[in-house]
Amino acid sequence: MKLFVGLGNPGAEHAFNRHNVGFMAVDAIATAQGFPAWRKRFQGVATEGRLGRAQVMLLKPGTYMNESGRSVDEAVRFYKLALDDVIVFHDELDLGPGKVRVKTGGGVAGHNGLRSLGAHVGNDYVRVRIGIGHPGAKELVTRHVLHDFAKADHAWLEPLLAAIADNAPYLADGAPDKFQSRVAHAMQTEEDALEQGRAREPRKREAKPSSKPDAPPAETSLGSKLRRWLGS
């Protein structure tokens, strides 16, 4: 059994916060990999299925970020898991937006969710660090992480979550380096495609006035996909 934990805060008001990108990652995995419906377990919600050769439980603690360790500790004790079977997805200020790095153990760098995990289960679990970028000043960090992703972030966030979901079986099979390289390759391919598209895009003509009433703006692709991943 592998335990994939997404870190975040419960509640619709937090669903699209940068701090909730761990929740978004496991939601994307659950949808893309055909996991069953979420149900209440371990002071949070969980779902279980197969990834690669492993049985995997996805867990979203419902204890709020600062107490994430309580939920994870219950699951670890119930299944008698070693910490190298625990993979935690979380936001990372020290990585640029769209970057992903995998490592085992380490410090908490001021992240309250990681601090709580360290207090309850120790620090030697596997971490999938999802870059959200740094706002540039320490006093801006809280606002940065607790606010929704900006519209400009949509171009990289959607393909990043899709790449994480598609390549999650490598993590379950104990191949974190391959997971990291495949995600990086997917993101580079996406960036190259966007650059080529911009280079080929013709200059837009000035729109003519229309007598028809304005249509309501379409929902962004990210918004629709995330709502599907989040089950809302």
Sign, Cα dihedral of 24, 159, 92, 125: positive
Q: Which of 14, 19, 134, 147 is catalytic?
A: 19
19 counts as catalytic: yes
Do the Cβ atoms of 106 and 45 come closer than 8 Å?
no
Residue 48, CB-side half-sphere exposure with 13 Å CA sphere: 11
Cβ neighbour number for residue 102 with a 10 Å cutoff: 19
- Report the catalytic residues: 19
